[in-house]
Amino acid sequence: MNLDLEVARRMYLQDKLSLEAIGERFGTTGSTIYWKFKKAGIPIRSRAPSYDKNIAKIRHLYEVEKRSMNEVAKIMGQKPETIAKYLRRAGVEIRLDARQLNRRK
């Protein structure tokens, strides 16, 4: 793993990406990023749910801009599964993409 700690730090503190999203971009896990940050003295955000502050943006991207679940996840620095959970919790009907529709036939 070739981790540029300053780039990872900026992604985390300024861009507000999750540890997991940063790990994916560097080809490792969120847990590895967590321990590298701890060792370097980089403050770790609490794991409090970010649902309330993000749901408006997530809904806008998904419902208004008609972006895919994967696109929304990438923009938000989250996993598609997390985005789906947030949307379901907000009562949003999940669209099926072409692959999912083909599987149902």
One-character DSSP codes across the chain: ----HHHHHHHHHTS---HHHHHHHTTS-HHHHHHHHHHHTPPPPP----HHHHHHHHHIIIIIS---HHHHHHHHTS-HHHHHHHHHHTTPPPPP-HHHHHHH-
What pLDDT was estimated at residue 9?
Answer: 95
Residues 53-82: tens digit of each pLDDT: 788 899 999 999 999 999 999 999 888 998
Give pTM, 2 decimals.
0.50
